[in-house]
């Protein structure tokens, strides 16, 4: 039985609250709730879109008698999520998302207000995307043997994953395992610096991680990765730096600085394969530099978080998941 947390349910308009409560009682693993003004309510589960059938009062793969999200639904929900103080959330709003208690991230779009080439605000919110955050403790156990080397070393690891294939869930649990230590590997744990630019890994709310990222983890949230890496190198003396969705040249330069400073690194990138990554010049150069030792490929073939295979860049060989 899949239950949606009270934090999510209580953040919705009255009409939507009752609908999501009823959905929560169904055996559906809800990943996203999509609210678009004057469009059907859509719930995403296992990469399938479901509509809410208002006559049958249940989810339906077909768009039969769908619930239409009203402008009031959007406005009420947004106000509740911002605790009726939109100004207090403006720093997050202008980045296109806010985080609810419990670590659930809400993407938002509408009319952007631009000043000096920067987004200063988003008004007239027209769409909200509620991404349900769930921990899967232990989901990284099967890859730890490739990441941990000896009792106090970590292999620099790149995780390649298409969108919505569980990379955030996996990297969060990797952080927890490295931070807490793991008895199976006689690994005592290390200091981890987590740059959580979009606040997806830690799900921090008012500065407190809502997800278990371990006892030796220091989190810097909603900070550009290249800046965050340099800040943490200078101030927190990490053994391992972890970040999500690396891509631009400034971020890659910061990775080189960290790696050349003797800090281990774990990061992710959007893609389907090593060949896909090699088609991007900066990322291809990063692979060719041999700074990374392991590459983990994810997919959703058996559900989000499916580990397709692991490539050892030193041994030049593939390891296939069972």
The residues with which 318 forms a beta bridge, in sequence order, are 311
Residues in the chain, pLDDT under 50: 1
pLDDT at 261: 84
The whole-number pLDDT of residue 322 equals 53
Question: What are the residue ranges spanned by the domains of the chain?
Answer: 6-131, 141-320
| Region class of 198: left (phi > 0), else alpha (psi between -120 and 50), else beta | alpha
**Tokens (6 digits) for 179:** 């931070």
Predicted confidence at residue 18, as pLDDT, reads: 94
Q: What is the pTM of this model?
A: 0.87
Judge residue 314's burial from the number of C-beta atoms within 10 Å of its C-beta, 0-12 exposed, 13-18 middle, 19 or more buried: exposed
Rounded to whole angstroms, the Cα distance separating 161 from 184 reads 27
pLDDT of residue 321: 64
Give the pLDDT score at 195: 97
**What fold characterizes domain 6-131?**
Beta-Lactamase (3.30.450)
CATH 3.40.50.920 corresponds to the domain 141-320? no
Task: Give Dmax (Cα) for the chain.
Answer: 62
The pLDDT tens digits for 21-80 are 988 777 678 999 999 999 999 999 888 999 999 999 999 999 999 999 999 999 999 999
- Using CA atoms, how far apart are residues 106 and 274, in angstroms rounded to an integer? 31
pLDDT at 1: 35
Paired residues of 106 in beta bridges: 98, 130
Write the DSSP string, 25-93. TSS----EEEEETTSB-EEEETTEEEEEETTTTEEESS-SSBPBPPHHHHHHHHHHHTTT-GGGGHHHH
Q: How far is CA 185 from the centre of its chain?
A: 27
């Amino acid at each position: 039985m899949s239950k949606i947390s009270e934090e999510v349910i209580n953040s919705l308009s009255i009409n939507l609250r009752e609908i999501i409560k009823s959905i929560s009682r169904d055996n559906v693993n809800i990943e996203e709730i999509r609210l678009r003004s004057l469009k059907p309510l859509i719930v995403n589960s296992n990469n399938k879109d479901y509509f809410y059938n208002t006559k049958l009062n249940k989810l339906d793969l077909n768009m039969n008698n769908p619930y239409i999200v009203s402008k009031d639904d959007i406005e009420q929900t947004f106000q509740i999520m911002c605790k009726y103080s939109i100004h207090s959330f403006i720093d997050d709003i202008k980045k296109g998302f806010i985080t609810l208690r419990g670590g659930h991230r809400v993407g938002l779009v509408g009319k952007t207000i631009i000043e000096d080439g920067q987004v200063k605000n988003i008004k007239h919110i027209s769409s909200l995307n509620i991404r349900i955050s769930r921990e899967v403790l232990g989901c990284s156990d099967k890859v730890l043997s490739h990441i941990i080397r000896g009792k106090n070393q970590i292999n620099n690891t790149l995780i390649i994953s298409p969108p919505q294939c569980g990379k955030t869930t996996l990297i969060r649990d990797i952080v927890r395992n490295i931070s807490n230590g793991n008895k199976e590997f006689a690994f005592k744990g290390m200091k981890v610096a987590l740059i959580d630019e979009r606040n997806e890994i830690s799900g921090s709310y008012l500065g407190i991680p809502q997800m278990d990222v371990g006892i030796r983890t220091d989190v810097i949230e909603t900070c550009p990765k290249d800046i965050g890496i340099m800040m943490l190198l200078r101030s927190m003396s990490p053994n391992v730096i972890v970040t999500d969705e690396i891509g631009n040249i400034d971020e890659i330069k910061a990775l080189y600085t960290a790696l050349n400073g003797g800090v281990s690194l774990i990061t992710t990138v959007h893609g389907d394969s090593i060949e896909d990554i090699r088609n991007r010049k900066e990322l291809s150069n990063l692979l060719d530099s041999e700074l990374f030792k392991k590459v983990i490929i994810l997919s959703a073939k058996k559900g989000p978080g499916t580990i397709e295979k692991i490539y050892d860049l030193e041994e030049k060989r593939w390891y296939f998941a069972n």
